[in-house]
Amino acid sequence: MNYVSHPLIRSESIEERRYQLSIALRALDANTMVVLPTGLGKTAVALIVAASRLYSHRGRVLVLAPTKPLVEQHLRFFKQFLLIRDGSGPDESDFAMFTGDTSPEERARAWEACRICFATPQVIKNDCLAGRYSLADVALLVVDECHRAVGNYAYVFLAGHYCTAAKDPLLLAMTASPGGDPAKVQEVCDNLHIAAVETRVETDEDVRPYIHERDIQYVDVYLPEELQAAIVVLRGLVESRLARLAKLNFRVPKPDKLSMKALNALNAQIQQRIRTRDPSAFIAASLHAECMKLRHAVSLAETQGSEALKLYLARLGAEGASSAGSKASKRLVADPAYKSLVEAAAGWKEELHPKASIVRELVRAQLAAHPESRIIVFATYRDTVQTLVDTLSSAGITCERFVGQASRDAERGLSQKEQIASLARFREGEFKCLIATSVGEEGLDVPSTDMVIFYEAVPSEIRSIQRKGRTGRSGSGTIVVLVTKGTSDETFRYVSQSRERAMVTGIKGMSSAPAPAPAPAPTVPSATRQADILSFAPAGPAITVDDRETSSRVAERLHELGAAIALERLEFGDYAVGDRILVERKTVQDFMNTLVERDLFGQIKAMADAVPRPVLIIEGEDDLYAVRNIHPNAIRGTLAAITVDMGVALIRTRDADDTAEVLYVLAQREGSERGERKVHPKKSYRSVREEQEYALAAFPNVGLKSARLLLEHFGSLKAIVDAEPEELAAVHGIGEKTARAIWDLARRSYR
């Protein structure tokens, strides 16, 4: 066997594969997207490119991956094979791993010391927004699972920021499956400033020697009579709702053609009528919600099983019985046909769908023939995952569930630490079968998986390819797809096959086409809509952004404008400007939802009581009066109460960019100390504590923050006034100038 020879790669450690070297050489010339099926060594390509850049350039390499387990996997791989220094092993400080568990201070220190950093993208985005370190000397940015680089995902911001900030940028994007939609693939390429696409498939001549045989089997499954009867009832309920919608003059699909596309088209009609204030449209919206719930119930019965359906019916029943439940839920659970279905489901004592027992027998047969096998079963829903764990465990098969972090109802998610530990136990053979949701589709480092079972077919070509890629990596493997006859399973099987073929064809076309000119490095956009205002004030005003807001476009736009951003967890509001202004940002939809479903007035009042200048921004061009079925006078009364009674400034903005530019102007005006910088506004009520803060904040150079620091230290206004300048300046955060100003004003004669 031949091995890769490079001064910064351990000798005789990485197998020399011609296609990997060819791709790496191309990737060193321009920003490149690498599309390789799982198991063909994308990480090895990244290692070769990283070693080459570290050898020829000063600086560091930054490797991004969407999840902590995947970040840790890359770190282990690079530590195993990369030398960093010519001929000698790396120091521990040469490697750094940044996730949400690493404090900002630790990240800033580790960044300065490391040569290669592995991180989740949101963490790096937050640090760039806050200016904790620069990407100027990053010689290579590796973006794993790059098909995520759409919309407002952190990859999009980071790619643009890197290409602007780095002295000599080079970006390597990697994925097993960018998708079959050419427009979406092009969007990813544009967002990552890709100049070249390199791809290989398993049939390529230079790849074929490294491919292990994968046997793909489709197993037909037939629904039992009980579930067929349940589906008949559910479809009858759907038909009655569609009939009512038809009577309201909406174009409705046929009950047996109730796809998500058809439901979305129906919803578009309803929203159009809502905008015209048609009262029937609000009734239609509730009926549409019932159809959505019923369609989901049908899908569960067809593809998941009786246990998943029972649990869903129970949740609907609880929602319908709750005072906070929607009208759609209440009406649905009161329907006699629905009640009869719930009663019938109560009599199901075990899983009726054959899929669960088929999975049990497939796993049992595989382990009997090959006791050291590793098997992954993929299922879309957590309820199904738990059913399968129970089914296999009762048969004496050791298995564990592998789900995401979020906890729902009584079902607890797995933390990233627990996910990593579970994968380690699986890899080491402590249990043989992993039952996973979609969280297990990306980046699992389990090279010895011998069988993958799809509990249901999935329509997404990306998910299908990722699931299949979990086997056949270091030996032959088997893929089994369970398909319930006459259901969406059959449709999804053929949809995913068609999309996979289209994806391969499309990517091949992009790869073989002449390479486009390298994408120009993005420039920092100017605030074109506010240019006449922005040009009058100094650049870089300070804005504190709540750390939960960093996923929004607003924070990115503020960074582009040059604002000095500090990230904190704010008790009130989303953005703070100085110590006088707090800004709560709500989209039109969120504003109306909070008004109806949560305590809007309490939220706004708490912010208004905290600062002299509270601001509410309502973002979006949607009509406030058309979003929810609320009388216009009630909305007008809400706006009047917020502005007049609470003294909150109300600003409407078009979109996130517009919001950011308004915040920027607010911060510039506040920083310039124009207008009523230190004049206290009138407030209807203050606590004693607030009055004390209010009085002290009027002293020169003292804002609310400094006032609180002084009061907490001295305990009263009198003690502060009586204190000497040295005592005042000794308080952390109070400078000598401020201390002298307080002391002097308190003793100066009034004339």
pLDDT tens track for 215-224:
788 899 999 9
129 residue type, one letter: L
Please tell me which of 436-450, 625-639, 681-695 the model is most confident about, judged by mean pLDDT: 625-639
The C-alpha atoms of residue 647 and residue 674 are separated, in whole angstroms, by 20
Query: Residue 61: its pLDDT value, please?
Result: 95
The pLDDT confidence band at residue 678, using thresholds 50, 70 and 90, is very low
Helix axes 104-113, 121-130, angle to 10 degrees: 90
For range 92-111, the mean pLDDT: 88
Q: In the prediction, which pLDDT does 654 show?
A: 92
The residue-averaged pLDDT of 582-607 equals 87
* Gap between the Cα atoms of 594 and 81, Å rounded: 52
**329 with 433, same domain?**
no
User: Is 333 or 513 the better-scoring residue by pLDDT?
Assistant: 333
The last residue of a domain, from among 182, 210, 238? 210
Domain extent, residue 699, equals 688-747
pLDDT band at 643 (very low <50, low <70, confident <90, very high): very high
What is the CATH number for 297?
A: 1.20.1320.20
Q: Which residue has the higher pLDDT, 603 or 155?
A: 155
Q: Pick from 82, 116, 103: which is nearest to 4 by CA?
A: 82
Q: How many domains does the chain have?
A: 5
pLDDT at 657: 92
Residue 12 lies in a domain: no
| Nearest-angstrom CA–CA distance, 208 and 234 | 49
pLDDT tens, position by position, 556-578: 999 988 888 888 888 889 999 98
Does residue 532 sit within a domain? no
Closest of 302, 448, 312 to residue 371, by C-alpha: 448
64 forms beta bridges with 119, 143
Give the mean model confidence (pLDDT) for residues 235-263: 88
Please tell me whether residue 97 adopts helix, strand or coil conformation: strand
pLDDT above 80 for 281? yes
**CATH number, domain with residue 601:** 3.40.50.10130
Mean pLDDT to the nearest integer, 253-257? 79
Please tell me the distance from the alpha carbon of residue 749 to that of residue 751, in angstroms, as a whole number: 6
* Percent of the chain predicted with pLDDT > 90: 34
Residue 161 above 80 pLDDT? yes
> Nearest 5°: phi and psi at 184?
-70, -40
What is the model's pLDDT at position 538?
A: 43
Say if residue 22's pLDDT is above 60. Answer: yes
Averaged over 401-425, what is the pLDDT? 78
Amino acid at 29: D
What is the reported pLDDT for 466?
61
Mean pLDDT confidence for 418-423: 83
Please, which residues have CB within 8 angstroms of residue 257's CB and are 6 or more apart in sequence?
none
Identity of residue 124 = I
What is the distance between the alpha carbons of residues 136 and 138, in angstroms, rounded to a whole number? 6
**Is the pLDDT confidence value at 185 over 90?**
no
Which is higher by pLDDT, 183 or 392? 392
Between CA 625 and CA 491 the distance in angstroms is: 40
User: Which pair of tokens denotes residue 177?
Assistant: 């499956």
- Assess if residue 53 is contained within a domain: yes
Residue 387 falls inside a structural domain: yes
Question: In this predicted model, what pLDDT tens digit does every residue of 293-324 receive, in sequence order?
Answer: 999 999 999 999 899 999 999 888 888 888 77
256 and 116 share one domain: no
CATH number for the domain that contains residue 66: 3.40.50.300
Same domain, 39 and 184: yes
- Co-location of 31 and 180 in the same domain: yes
pLDDT confidence tier of residue 662, bands split at 50, 70 and 90: very high
Whether 716 and 688 have beta carbons less than 8 Å apart is answered as no
| Domain presence at residue 113 | yes
- How many angstroms separate the CA atoms of 433 and 398, rounded? 7
User: What mean pLDDT comes out for the span 692-701?
Assistant: 82
Instruction: Record the tokens describing residue 95, joined without a space.
Output: 């490697």
Which CATH number goes with the domain that contains 726?
1.10.150.20
Q: Where are the extended beta strands (E) located within 234-390?
A: 374-378
- Let me know whether 463 and 568 are in one domain: no
Domain assignment present for 725: yes
The pair phi, psi for residue 378, each rounded to 5°, is -100, 130
Mean predicted confidence (pLDDT) in 608-614: 87
Q: Are 188 and 32 in contact (CB under 8 A)?
A: no
37 and 176 part of one domain: yes
Q: What is the pTM of this model?
A: 0.68
Calpha distance 102→416 (Å, rounded): 13
CA 100, distance to chain mean position in Å, is: 13
578: left (phi over 0), alpha (psi -120 to 50) or beta: left
Q: Does the pLDDT at position 34 exceed 90?
A: yes
Residue type (1 letter), 408: R
**468 vs 83: which has the higher pLDDT:** 83
Beta strand spans in 65-137 (E): 95-98, 116-119
Bridge partners (DSSP) of residue 209 are none
Please name which of 578, 586, 553, 521 lies closest in space to residue 129, comparing C-alpha atoms: 553
50 and 193 share one domain: yes
Can you give the pLDDT at residue 143? 96
CA angle (713 as vertex; 707, 715 as ends), nearest 5: 85
Q: Tell me what percent of the residues of the chain surpass a pLDDT of 70.
A: 87
Phi, psi for 308 (deg, rounded to 5) = -65, -40
The whole-number average pLDDT for the span 654-676 is 81
Whether the pLDDT of residue 410 is over 80: the answer is no
Domain for residue 664, yes or no? yes
Residues 22 and 92 in one domain: yes
Is the domain of 668 the same as that of 722?
A: no
Q: How many CB atoms lie within 10 A of CB 353?
A: 27
Using alpha carbons, list the distances in angstroms from residue 628 to 264, 597, 622, 650.
18, 11, 11, 20
Q: Taking the mean position of all CA atoms in its chain, how far away is CA 606?
A: 29
Phi, psi of 382 (to 5 degrees): -65, -35
**Token pair 């091949």 is at which residue?**
508
Q: What is the mean pLDDT of residues 656-674?
A: 84
CA 510 to chain centre: 28
* Shared domain check, 403 and 281: no
Q: What is the pLDDT of residue 537?
A: 38
**What average pLDDT does the chain have?**
84
Domain for residue 640, yes or no?
A: yes
Phi, psi (degrees; rounded to nearest 5) at 671: -65, -25
pLDDT at 499: 67
| Per-residue pLDDT, 84 | 76
Please give the C-alpha separations between residue 589 and each of 269, 432, 585, 601, 608, in angstroms, as whole numbers.
Answer: 18, 47, 12, 16, 22
**400 and 426 in contact (C-beta within 8 Å)?**
yes
| pLDDT exceeds cutoff 80 at 486 | yes
Q: Which of 454, 471, 503 is the last residue of a domain?
A: 503
| pLDDT average, residue stretch 458-477 | 61
pLDDT band at 471 (very low <50, low <70, confident <90, very high): low
Let me know whether 145 and 293 are in one domain: no
Overall average pLDDT of the 501-527 stretch:
54
User: Of 245-249, 422-426, 489-493, which gets the smallest average pLDDT?
Assistant: 489-493
pLDDT of residue 469: 60
Q: Residue 737 pLDDT > 60, yes or no?
A: yes
Nearest to 411 by CA among 488, 314, 491, 508: 314
CA-only gyration radius of the chain, Å? 30
Together in a domain, 28 and 129: yes
pLDDT for residue 442: 58
Last residue in a domain, options 640, 673, 706:
673
| Rounded Cα distance, 416 and 298, in Å | 33
